[in-house]
Amino acid sequence: MALDPNVRAFLEEQRFAVLATINSDSTPQLTVMWYELRGDTIVMNTRLSRVKGRNLQRDPRISVCVEDGERFVTVSGTATLNDDPATAQADIRALAIRYDGEEEGAREAEETFSKQDRVSIYLPISRVITKDL
């Protein structure tokens, strides 16, 4: 799906996403997440041991909402998980640098994230809802 240039610009700005996964009892589980738009894919990263990680292993259907006041973009679909350690570590490092800057992000990646078992979450952009963009 080709993103409208205004929607792409909105998603490329540094904002937080709210990730919705599905709990085993079918209730929603929401988490504020770092994300990055790479081409036509939203990239996130987490630890598999967290609730969202376990939910995604069981059911990869997700929804992500990125907002700015009353303006928002919601993307829904089926995520792909990549638990290859090198890939997951590279992705969390890139996200840390995006949100916390080169120096602090690299420090976090080395001191904290490198010691964790992490998984990358890839959501291809196929279903999009927007408001005021």
pLDDT at site 16: 98
Residue where the block lists tokens 């909402």: 65
Q: What is the mean pLDDT of each run of 10 residues along the chain (133 residues)?
A: 91 97 97 97 94 95 97 97 97 98 97 96 95 92
Q: Which CATH class is domain 5-88+119-131?
A: mainly beta
Alpha helices in the chain (DSSP H): 5-12, 51-58, 85-100, 102-111
* pTM confidence score: 0.95
- What residues does each domain of the chain span? 5-88+119-131
pLDDT at site 2: 79
Instruction: Give the HSE-up count for residue 30: Cα atoms under 13 Å, Cβ half-sphere.
Output: 7
pLDDT at site 48: 83
